[in-house]
Amino acid sequence: MLEGYELTDFQKEVLIVTAGIERGNTLTYKQVAEKIGHGKAYRAVGTALKKNPLAPKIPCHRVIKSDGSVGNYSGKGGAGGKRELLIREFAISGD
């Protein structure tokens, strides 16, 4: 799936974990970092997701901050667009 893209091994690991997040679910940046064995690298996870060449096929919008806020998003609409995607997928409340 990631062949042909110039990505580091770390970026590939992040994207593989992210690809497994099912619709209606989220993981935090920290949880993704822990799943790839780099528990303190949650900021680097965000940087890797910013370079996601296969969005939305790899749903980087499903990765949120530990406090439950959506965090940043480089896709269409920025953080507000990310929030709307997550509400539509029933991953977060629209309240």
pTM of the model: 0.94
CATH of the domain at 72: 1.10.10.10
Instruction: Report pLDDT for 94.
Output: 84
Domain of residue 61 covers 9-88
Per-residue confidence at 74, pLDDT binned at 50, 70, 90? confident
Residue 32 counted as domain residue: yes
Assess if residue 60 is contained within a domain: yes
Query: Is 48 exposed, middle or buried, given 0-12, 13-18 or 19+ CB atoms closer than 10 A?
Result: buried
Q: Would the pLDDT of 88 be above 80? A: yes
Total domains present in the chain: 1
Q: So which residues are the catalytic ones?
A: 60
Q: Could you read off the pLDDT of 27-72 as tens digits, one per residue?
A: 999 999 999 999 999 999 999 999 999 998 999 999 999 999 999 8
Contacts of residues 73-81 at CB distance under 8 Å and 24 or more positions apart, as own/partner, are: 74/50
